[in-house]
Every structure is written in C-alpha cells, then in structure tokens.
Amino acid sequence: MLDESAAAVQDRAVAEPDLSHQLLGAFRSIDQEVQRALRDRGILDIRPSQGTTLLLVDRAGTRLTELAQRAGMTKQAMMEIVDELQELGCVRRVPDPGDARAKIVRLTAKGLRHRAGTRKAVQTVEARMRRWLGDRRYDVLRAMLAEIIVAEE
C-alpha cells in the first residue's frame, strides 16, 4: 500500500504531462494558429500539414521519397498527403526525366499561391511566438528543439 507521500507523487505524475505530451500540445497549438492564419488569408481548402508539404517541394519538383524524407514520415503517409493535394489541384505528378519509373511532384499555379500563403501564415505565427517569448527565449527554444531532432537522427 502506498503511503501519503508516495500517493501524492503518483497523483502529481498523473496530473503533469510528460515531455512528449507537452511537445504534442505545443505542436497542436501552433498548428491551430497556422490554420487560423491560413483562413485569414483566404486559404480554406488545405490543412497545415498539406501546406507544409507544399513548402518542401523544390521549384523543379521533388520525388515523393525525398518529400517523405524531408518531412520525417513514411512514403505511404506522404503519398496520402500528395494524393489530397493533387485532388485539390495544388500539385501534379509528372515523369522523372532521370528515371522513367519515378514521378516528380510539381506545384501547380494554385499550389504556388497556397505555398506562398502558407509561408506567410507560418511566418506570422512564428513572429507572434517570438514577440510572446522574447528573442532570447525563442532562439533558445529553437536551438533546443534542433538539438533534440539531431539527437534522434
């Protein structure tokens, strides 16, 4: 049986989310802010994850496997996002001139407009976070997150 102090520690552990939940919560908050910023720009038909994918496509186009790698997700998950973007008219798949078996994802005119809007939305949200946290804390947060990401690779 737990004594009172052990029970209090256990209750506190349940009440306080672990780091992964805090990071996920921060991601969700930022994601919602980006969604609002997209809506404010009249971009109503894409989600932030789709907008982020648009930001990853090179000017000349990018292979699906490269997009998945850049996003840190599986090829299958990226294929689903690209399929959605293609249905929305934001991207098209074209044959890769260097490999007849492969396809390149290219942005359409709509995709270019949505990418520009997404970039502005993200910049707006990040500028708001910088003002809220202050320059030093914002820069420290970015550096610490970069360290965590590199350590996991």
Concatenated DSSP letters for 9-69?
Answer: HHHHHHHSPPHHHHHHHHHHHHHHHHHHHHHHTT--S--HHHHHHHHHS-TT-EEHHHHHH
Residue bearing the bigger pLDDT, 122 or 2: 122
Q: What percentage of residues in the chain have a pLDDT greater than 70?
A: 90
In a domain, 107, yes or no: yes
**Cα–Cα distance measured from residue 127 to residue 136, given in angstroms and rounded to the nearest whole number:** 13
In a domain, 92, yes or no: yes
**SS3 state of residue 97:** coil
Residue 10: the pLDDT is: 65
Residues pairing with 91 in the sheet: 107
In a domain, 6, yes or no: no
Cα-Cα-Cα-Cα torsion 54, 117, 33, 87, nearest 10 degrees, comes to: -50
Mean pLDDT of 106-113: 97
For the ranges 1-10, 21-30, 42-51, 101-110, the lowest mean pLDDT is seen at: 1-10
- Mean pLDDT estimate for the chain: 90
Tokens representing residue 91 in the block? 């991207």
Give the residue numbers spanning the domain of 58: 18-152
Give yes or no for residue 3 having a pLDDT over 80: no
In a domain, 26, yes or no: yes
99-107, strands of its sheet edge to edge: 62-63, 99-107, 91-96
Residue 9: the pLDDT is: 61
The CA distances from residue 86 to 15, 40, 80, in Å, are 43, 23, 10
In a domain, 10, yes or no: no
Domains identified in the chain, total number: 1
In a domain, 4, yes or no: no
CATH number at residue 145: 1.10.10.10
In a domain, 3, yes or no: no
Residue 4: the pLDDT is: 61
Tokens representing residue 85 in the block? 């973007």
Mean pLDDT of 45-55: 92
- With contact defined as beta carbons under 8 Å apart, do 114 and 43 qualify? yes
Each residue's pLDDT tens digit, 33-43: 999 999 999 99
Give yes or no for residue 139 having a pLDDT over 80: yes
Give yes or no for residue 144 having a pLDDT over 90: yes
In a domain, 64, yes or no: yes
